[in-house]
A and B are shown apart, each in its own frame.
Chain A
Amino acid sequence: MNDLLPLIADKYNYWIYIVLMMLGLYAMIGKNNLVKKIIGMNIFQTSIILFYVSIAYKKGGTLPIIMGDAHGGGHAAVHAADYINPLPHCLMLTAIVVSVATLGVALALAIKIYRQYGTLEEDDINHQIRMQAGQ
């Protein structure tokens, strides 16, 4: 227990992302309603974004916008440790956009499914499919 506490305290960002991720994953696999699954998918993706952004953080670091002379004179004084890591942020901008796009397509498909079956409960849909196959 003595080891575990600092482990959680120092690395709580990972714990949070893993818990979120598993929540999302559980919703995606275990839930019956398609919209709930889509929400789970979004939580899942967001947790990874959180993970990336958290590894970019440096204690005492600030936004990666270089302060100082805006005309190129400031670069000599830049200390990388003063600013948080810009790369994961940039990557996650991409990941956010991807997750939004996926969400859009998923919702479009959900609308199409609703139009076709009149429900978004997976059990009901499967029941209808079985009924059709049985005829």
Chain B
Amino acid sequence: MKFLAMIAVVLTGGLLIFHTGAFPDFGDANSPANTYLSPYYLENGQADTHAPNVVTSVLADYRGYDTMFETTVVFAAGLACFFLLRRKQKPGDTPRMYRHLPTGVTLHIKEGGTLPAEDSAVFRRLDSEFVPHQIIIKNTCRIVIPFIQIFALYVVAHGHYSPGGGFQGGVLLAASFILYAISHDLRRAIRRFPEKVAALFGSMGVLIYAGTGVLCLLFGANFLNYEALAPLLGVSPVMARSHGILIVEIGVAFAVMAVIIWIYYNLSSAGKHDEGL
């Protein structure tokens, strides 16, 4: 197998390398790729969409349809991970560990043993792989997380003017939650941001994107043609495109954030949503 793989790889690579001679040089500004279509975006992007960041205008407007499916891919991945991994577990199926807070004693409860109440003030659930009490990490994260989130919101909102946008912002938001889950424990993260909310936010985010498109449709324009929203938003068509981009970026941010968190829940706990990492 390895030998075959090597042969296949060398052959394919050889073929590809053999051919590089016909390609334009690295950084060639006069290659067809750089002269045929892309100048249009650079020259007219700002006038068409009122967004100086051309990547954003191409992403969310010229090729906004691609991006809608990009968001859908993320959502599909979340759905797929949930579908493949999630399994409901009854309390008592697996051994659990609890700490009796007043005494600091750690209890190991076997399968089928009597468990303390979920909201017990005396017993606290522990991960089965014992994690010591890391007060520095917890508190650092507690301080850092709000700043991450603020920055994420900035990235989402400022995608028109600087590198950024819904995907980047959404991932940052998700990262903040994941940081919380790592520094504390998975159960607490899930209590803050339940699975159901993640799932619904995921579909809602894509729905915002696609729904904006449908709204354009209802106003009589083509799908995702934000110009049609001008009367609704009370601005000029060009500004309407700009606002439209912002709206869909927010949708993307919602979807990406929720889905990445959702995927994290499922992957980290192998679908049990019990304890993980």
Contacts and interface: CB of A to CB of B under 8 A. Distances in A.
Task: Let me know if chains A and B touch directly in the complex, using CB atoms closer than 8 Å.
Answer: yes
Contacts of A59: 27-29
A19 B9 contact: no
Contacts of B173: none
A50 B255 CA distance: 26
Interface string A1-37: 0000001001111110011011001100110000000
A60 B23 CA distance: 19
Contacts of A112: 84-85
A105 B82 CA distance: 10
Interface string B1-37: 1101110111011001100110111111101011101
Contacts of A26: 5-6, 9
A60 B28 CA distance: 10
Interface in B26-63: 26-29, 31, 33-35, 37-39, 41-47, 50, 52-55, 58-59, 63
B163 interface: yes
B259 to A, nearest CB: 9
Given A58-B27, A100-B77, A108-B81, A7 B42 contact: no
Interface in B138-184: 161-163, 167
A29 B52 contact: no
A109 interface: yes
A29 B38 contact: no
A86 interface: yes
A56 B31 CA distance: 10
Interface string B237-277: 01000000000000000000000000100110011000000
Contact of B263 (A11, A60, A104, A109): A104
B111 interface: no
A129 interface: no
Interface size bracket, A side: 35 or more
B186 to A, nearest CB: 15
Contacts of B45: 66, 86
B233 interface: no
Contacts of A19: 13
A43 B223 CA distance: 36
A41 to B, nearest CB: 14
Interface in A54-69: 54-61, 63-67
B273 to A, nearest CB: 13
Given A7-B20, A15-B20, A108-B84, A90 B55 contact: yes
B270 A111 contact: yes
B109 interface: no
A18 B20 contact: yes
Nearest to B10: A22
A78 B70 contact: no
Contact of A22 (B12, B77, B238, B263): B12
Given A80-B42, A81-B29, 4 more contacts: A65-B161, A88-B33, A101-B74, A108-B80
13 contacts: A7-B21, A11-B21, A11-B25, A14-B17, A18-B13, A29-B5, A30-B1, A57-B27, A58-B34, A74-B52, A78-B42, A87-B41, A108-B84
